[in-house]
Structure formats: structure tokens, C-alpha cells
A = this chain, B = another copy of it.
Amino acid sequence: MYNQYSYRLGSETSGIREIFEYGLQQAAIVGKENVFDFSLGNPSIPAPTSVNAAIMDMIQNEDSLLIHGYSSAPGFLDARNAVAKELAERTGTNIQGTDLYFTCGAAPALVSVCKALHIDQHTEILGIAPFFPEYRPFVESTGSRFAYVPADTKDFQIDLKTLESMIHEHTQAVIINSPNNPSGVVFRKETLEQVAAILTKKSAEFGKPIYLISDEPYRELVYDGIEVPWVPSIYKDTIVCYSYSKSLSLPGERMGYIYIPSDMTDAKEVFAAVAGASRVMGHVCSPTLIQRVVARCAYEKPDLEAYDNNRKLLYHGLKKIGYECAYPDGAFYLFVKAPGGDAVAFSEKCKQKNLLVVPSDDFGVKGYFRLCYCVAKETIEKSLPIFEEVFSS
């Protein structure tokens, strides 16, 4: 006598995790140096030194009761103000600390927002393929439906015509993720402007806001001087979900936030609904020591040199072999066309050579595989001959 849906969700291993676990097993047999694991998006550059310096300083010089004590549920206001100040400067907007709700990372942020926007069993939230596979259970567990716009495989922007055709009276929100996991692509400003035009039109047509949920854990991970457009400045009914997992390399510490612009439709009500949704997810506050760390390190930027070098090495290496791949502007992923077209079969072939890649099926598109290049440079160097082998075999 237990919940069957939760049981199923807890029993099914995610494809990605399964590949990762296989890698660990193989490493024990053939040696770690002979396993080329491109499966998991676990940052490989350490947290900026200022992060650990901030922790040391607080532990040594501040009151233990304060640094480890409760904050209010949305977070310490001074910490939210510090984060808002930097965001406001960077985006040229008027973000206030009170517009932010600190969460234990982007995942509970997304779930809170989906819960807050769930109306009834007809409610639908749209993803854009390729998408982070957890969007589906996050949305469906709140009682809403999840559907997605098929991938625009030309350049992994957004198939706008299909997006428009899929929006109906029960569409509550569209989730976007840029820089994108798994494609590494950044949505261009023109793409987002067209999305905004569609949502504005459809909101008017149905007489209710259709929200844009912008999932942005990779916002600061971009290369070649590319700029990530600030989505709320393009479409006012945007809710931003953010995590410090990648930008400060703190994935285990569970720190992120929800930004609800004060001029968004029903901003106050949605903020309250997010608070209520978080409350019944058992959210009390996000970890308080780390709240203070992100406040102190608000102006810190990740040192992307290692990722950038990996990106170039892997991208150009694969292109030279003959692989087709979307040009990666950001994050730490490459999304590569599977030779032969069957991503699962190709990934299986790679696995036989201890080359671990993730087939694209779970991301809502067939025929690709994802590579996380947050690995050691040597892993890439030593893997390229194997990529060559499997390409033509």
C-alpha cells in the first residue's frame, strides 16, 4: 500500500544515471583512465576561491547561531538584495530583493512554479525539444499535462510556427532553457522576440497570461563573447528559475532562486502561490550559510577557460572526423548527430568501447547524442580516436 506513481518514479533509473553507474563499474574493471565518461553534467572547475574564503571568514568571525540559523522562507532579505543589485546592474532593470524567492536549487524552483500555475486537469505546460528530461515529471506530478514543441534541428532555436499552433486555452506556460541542456545553444534575441510576440498574441486571444518559465542554470556559461538575452526584458510575463550549481560550481549545496518580476501579470499572487507551493514541498529556507555566500559572491564570475578549451577541442575534433553538431554557444554540452541515425544503437556501440554518451531520446528528439565536456582535457584527447573508430564502424 504505497503510491504507485511515486514508486514508479523512484524505481525507474534515469538513462543518464544508468550510464554513469555503468561507467563507475567499468572503471573498477578496466581502470578509470580507460573509461571516457561524457554522461553527467557535473562541473569540473572548482568553486571560485572567494566562495571558500567567504565560508572560512563567516565560520571564523560570525555568530554560529546567525550563520546556521533559520532565514525566512524566501531567504534573508539582505542576501536577496545583494543578488538583486547585481542582477539589476547587469540587466539594466529594477529588480528588487523582494522579487526573489531563494530555493534549494533550480529543480524545486521549477516544481514550485509548476505547482503555483496548475489550475486543473486540463492545464498544460509546454517544453521545447530538446529539453531537460525532468521537466516531464516535474509538470505531470503537479497534475498538469506536459507537451513539447518538436526540435528545430536546423539550428536548435525554436520552431515558432509549431509553438504557436500548440498553444490553446489551457496552456499556462512555456518552459525554455537557454543556454540549452542538451544542445549547448543560446536562444537568439530575435527568437525570443518572436516567442514573446506569439505569447502576447495568444494571451490576448485567451484573455489570460501565458507565462514563460526561463530555466537558466547555465546563464553565465557562454563563450566567444556571446550575450544571453535577459528574457524578462523581452517578455514581461517571464518567471526566471536559477541555480548556482554551474555558475559557482556548487551543485551539491542546493542554492537557487525564482525571480518574479514585479510588473508581471498577477505578480503578487503568483509569488504567494510559489510560497504556498514551496511550503507544502517542505521548503523551510534554502541553506543559510550558502545564502550568505552567494550574497558575498554576487559579482563573481566562473572561470570558463577550461570549459572553453574543452569545447573547442571536442567540437573541432568531432567535426574533423565528420560528425555533425550544433555549434555550442554555452553550457558544457555538445549535441551530436548519431551516425546511422539510431542514437540508442550508436550509444550502445560507444559503450562497448567504454565511451559513455547519452542518446537523445529522453530529451524529446531522436537521432542525437549528448556529450558533457566538463571532463579532464586528457579524456577528450584520448577519446577522439575512439570517436573516429565508432564513426565509421
A residues whose Cβ falls under 8 Å from a Cβ of B: 1-3, 5-11, 42-44, 46-47, 51-52, 55-56, 59-60, 63-65, 67-71, 103-105, 107-112, 115-119, 134, 137-138, 141, 172, 208-209, 249-254, 266, 269-291
Contact = CB atoms under 8 A, between A and B. Distances in A.
A70 B245 CA distance: 9
A284 B107 CA distance: 7
- Name the 5 nearest CB pairs between A and B, nearest first: A252-B288, A10-B276, A108-B282, A9-B276, A10-B275
B284 A281 contact: no
Contact of A252 (B51, B69, B118): B69
A123 B174 CA distance: 34
A280 B116 contact: no
Given A104-B254, A254-B285, A284-B107, A272 B11 contact: yes
Given A43-B65, A46-B64, A6 B282 contact: no
A64 B42 contact: no
A384 B246 CA distance: 52
A14 to B, nearest CB: 9
Contacts of A138: 280, 282
A6 B277 contact: yes
Given A1-B208, A7-B116, 20 more contacts: A2-B266, A3-B273, A6-B115, A9-B275, A10-B274, A10-B275, A10-B279, A11-B272, A11-B276, A42-B70, A46-B63, A55-B59, A56-B56, A56-B59, A67-B252, A69-B252, A109-B282, A137-B279, A253-B287, A254-B286
A267 to B, nearest CB: 10
Contacts of A116: 2-3, 6-7
B281 A282 contact: yes
12 contacts: A2-B266, A2-B273, A7-B273, A9-B275, A10-B275, A43-B65, A103-B282, A141-B280, A252-B285, A254-B285, A254-B286, A281-B282
B9 A269 contact: no
Chief secondary structure at chain A's binding surface: helix
Contacts of A63: 46
Given A2-B266, A65-B44, A253 B288 contact: yes
Nearest to A144: B3
Nearest to A138: B280
Nearest to A120: B3
A115 B3 contact: yes
A108 B281 contact: yes
A79 B63 CA distance: 26
A154 B280 CA distance: 32
Contacts of A285: 252, 254
A5 B252 contact: no
B70 A251 contact: yes
A373 to B, nearest CB: 16
Contacts of A6: 115-116, 118, 272-274, 276-277, 280
A387 B138 CA distance: 50
B69 A52 contact: no
Nearest to A56: B59
